[in-house]
Amino acid sequence: MGHDAPPRWDRRMQQRLAHGEAAALGELYDRFASLVHSLAHRVLDDEDAADRVTREVFGYIWEHPDSYDPKQGPLRSWVAGITRHQAVQRLRQTEAASARDCGPDAPAPAEIEEKIREASTAARADFIVTSMPAPLRDALELAYFQRRDYRQTAADLGVTEDEARRRLRLGLQLLSTAHNHQALPPAHRTAPAPRSAPGAARAPHAPRGPRPSHTQHTGQGTSAPPGGPGHGRSR
């Protein structure tokens, strides 16, 4: 199956989650857990923190399925946006705590924000690359990352040089949008008490077995992403 789930699947998944179907959360986790964990790790550069964010993201999705609007884009993009927000928020909290511990030797606020911005941009760039059609992604890999020229890229891809240029140009245009999005601000709302639910799925690298309840890991509460309605429901 392609990177972006079919719109019909997206809508059906939201409906199943909204009706409290436990199996739907498991399906969603199996499909997107690796993506969530990799994006969180790209921002935080910490395995344990990425695991916590992964659990928080699926906890938020379980409590706020109505925050997703299929008309605004694929479910995969929505999940990635929640992940990026949650990871950036955690990074900001971590950096602030570290700065307090450093006292007068702490980095300037502008330096901290620059670090957060760079981490957020890198995560968005990763998501864009993995979401690209394979022909564009392959052209970028050869020409940009492996530093092949157009002729070599065209030969490796089995296309004309003009087509290789076109693919690379489109790929770079998509990738450039990563730099047009600022790091998401910290959320000011927290989710209400979680509805009675199955556990949000385990972190990707945890041993297989019963999934722990997401009520055990939300810590400071699962923050609503910016722009989302954040309608948590209790059942």
Can you give the pLDDT of all 235 residues of the chain as single tens digits? 444 445 788 999 999 999 999 999 999 999 999 999 999 999 999 999 999 999 999 999 999 999 998 888 899 999 999 999 999 999 999 888 887 878 777 778 778 788 888 888 888 888 888 878 888 888 888 887 788 888 899 999 999 999 988 988 888 887 777 666 544 433 333 333 344 445 444 444 433 333 333 333 333 333 444 333 333 444 4
Which three-class secondary structure state does DSSP give residue 223? strand
pLDDT at 22: 92
Instruction: At 209, give phi and psi (nearest 5°).
Output: 155, -170
pLDDT at 179: 65
pLDDT at 128: 82
Q: Which two tokens stand for residue 197?
A: 């639910």
Q: What is the pTM of this model?
A: 0.66
**Selection from 98, 82, 58 nearest residue 203 by Cα:** 58
Neighbours of 150 (CB within 10 A): 17
